[in-house]
Amino acid sequence: MGEQYGADQIQILEGLEAVRKRPGMYIGSTSARGLHHLVYEIVDNAVDEALAGYCDSIDVTINEDNSITVIDDGRGIPVGIQKKAGIPAVEVVFTILHAGGKFGNGGYKVSGGLHGVGASVVNALSEWLEVQVYIDGKIYQQRYEKGKVMYPLKVVGSCEAHEHGTKVTFLPDKDIFEETEFDYDTLKIRLRETAFLTKNLKIILRDNREEKKEKTFHYEGGIKEFIAYLNKGKTPLYNNIIYCEGSKEGVYVEVSMQHNDSYTENIYTFVNNINTPEGGTHLTGFKNALTKTFNDYARKNKLLKENEDSLSGEDIREGLTAIISVKIEDPQFEGQTKQKLGNSEARTAVDNIVSDQLTYFLEQNPAVAKSMCEKSILRREPGLQPEKPGI
């Protein structure tokens, strides 16, 4: 007979031990992808401060020893004692799973990241992590090694009374990760995207290893500038970059788009700054609005005859580059990896805001509206459609 399987065989993994035992459950993988995910988790916490209106800049540095430093000028993680845990709030954030200002009536209306597992998971998977908080004229510091507290939170210096923010430096644990070298270009792509999606936020990326590099991302035009960037090297059908913005049912919606002379559609969707490659309800709402608005306009202005079929969504979206970005308090994602949004209110909000504002845009810009409709009509007429490359 095999070993007995009783209550004592059930292991209880204390706190962050669980993360070190099964890191893939928390960050997806221990490959290069998971490694870079650590940086995004700390950056996402700073972005949450920016979305809440308290942070203007984030500084990300790859240090010579391949550790990472992230500095933000937000309010600073609270240093007061968290009553329930009996330890400073900053220690709670870095040592207790599922702790943070992201639940229910917490500190943030909307947030990206892993909903409260972020900072503590990064800590658990680092050889060491040091956090400094600049607040009330003092600099507080605490150090952890493999998730364990090395000393109680202490004051290590003073700062100007007006200075505030958080500085986190961590070195990923080589016992956990197959690969511990950070790739500058991988971080650059993600941080550029984050800056486009958070207009006016300045993000600086530095590489202090052998080949010194530095890049600053700061886009006052937000996702309108993102469209211009994505359409670089293509010929736009019209100069305007269309932008729709508004809130409905607690969903803040931003949409930007422009057609170019290519045959492919490039639509990128985001929820709380997290890319949703499989789309979801926000994408459905956008497609509905686009198809309905264009057909209404084409019929009303006699660009489509009464006996002609309506334009299909594919006709209208040919050559379209679009960004759909929604901020929502309680996003419901389908699947563990947050690939697809499920909230029905996001569909309604995007549909209504895009329908209203796109209708207004088309009426105000008849020449642009005509060229958009004509491209769509031309696409479906046999014999008139240009050969598609590679088909």
175 and 59 in a common domain: yes
> Is 2 a domain residue?
no
Give the strand pairing for 57-62 and 202-207.
Answer: parallel
246 and 333 in a common domain: yes
46 and 73 in a common domain: yes
371 and 278 in a common domain: yes
In terms of DSSP H, where are the helices of 135-262? 184-197, 223-230
118 and 89 in a common domain: yes
Per the structure, how many domains does the chain have? 2
Secondary structure class of 23 (helix, strand, coil): coil
Amino acid at 209: R
283 and 146 in a common domain: no
Secondary structure class of 126 (helix, strand, coil): strand
Give the phi and the psi of residue 125 in degrees, each rounded to 5: -100, 15
The residue out of 218, 249, 282 marking a domain boundary is 218
236 and 203 in a common domain: no
- Model pTM score: 0.87
For the chain of 391 residues, list the mean pLDDT of each consecutive stretch of 10. 56 72 87 94 91 93 98 94 88 81 50 63 96 97 96 97 96 95 97 95 97 96 96 93 95 96 93 90 98 96 90 94 93 75 95 98 95 85 50 36
What pLDDT, on a 0 to 100 scale, did the predictor assign at position 112?
A: 58
227 and 213 in a common domain: no
> Is 191 a domain residue?
yes
Secondary structure class of 254 (helix, strand, coil): strand
- Give CA–CA dist 245/254, Å, rounded: 5
> Is 117 a domain residue?
yes
C-beta atoms surrounding 271 within 10 Å: 26
Q: Where are the beta strands (DSSP E) in the chain?
A: 57-62, 68-72, 81-82, 87-88, 126-135, 138-145, 148-149, 154-158, 165-172, 202-207, 213-218, 242-248, 251-259, 266-271, 274-275, 320-328, 333-334, 340-341
What pLDDT, on a 0 to 100 scale, did the predictor assign at position 321?
A: 97
The residue out of 218, 234, 253 marking a domain boundary is 218
> Is 59 a domain residue?
yes
188, 175 contact by CB (below 8 A): no
292 and 207 in a common domain: no
What pLDDT, on a 0 to 100 scale, did the predictor assign at position 116?
A: 43
> Is 31 a domain residue?
yes
327 and 293 in a common domain: yes
Q: The domain spanning residue 83 has which CATH number? A: 3.30.565.10
> Is 3 a domain residue?
no
Q: The domain spanning residue 355 has which CATH number? A: 3.30.230.10
What pLDDT, on a 0 to 100 scale, did the predictor assign at position 117?
A: 58
Residue 21, token pair as written in the block? 């035992």
What pLDDT, on a 0 to 100 scale, did the predictor assign at position 367?
A: 93
33 and 117 in a common domain: yes
Q: What is the DSSP letter of 8?
A: G
Sequence-distant contacts of 78-81: CB under 8 A, at least 24 apart? 79/133, 79/135, 79/140, 79/153
> Is 70 a domain residue?
yes
What pLDDT, on a 0 to 100 scale, did the predictor assign at position 154?
A: 97
329, 250 contact by CB (below 8 A): yes
- Give CA–CA dist 357/225, Å, rounded: 19
Q: What is the DSSP letter of 267?
A: E
268 and 309 in a common domain: yes
The residue out of 174, 199, 218 marking a domain boundary is 218
Domain residues for the domain of 360 are 223-380
> Is 68 a domain residue?
yes
- Give CA–CA dist 168/190, Å, rounded: 19
Q: Where are the beta strands (DSSP E) in 136-224?
A: 138-145, 148-149, 154-158, 165-172, 202-207, 213-218
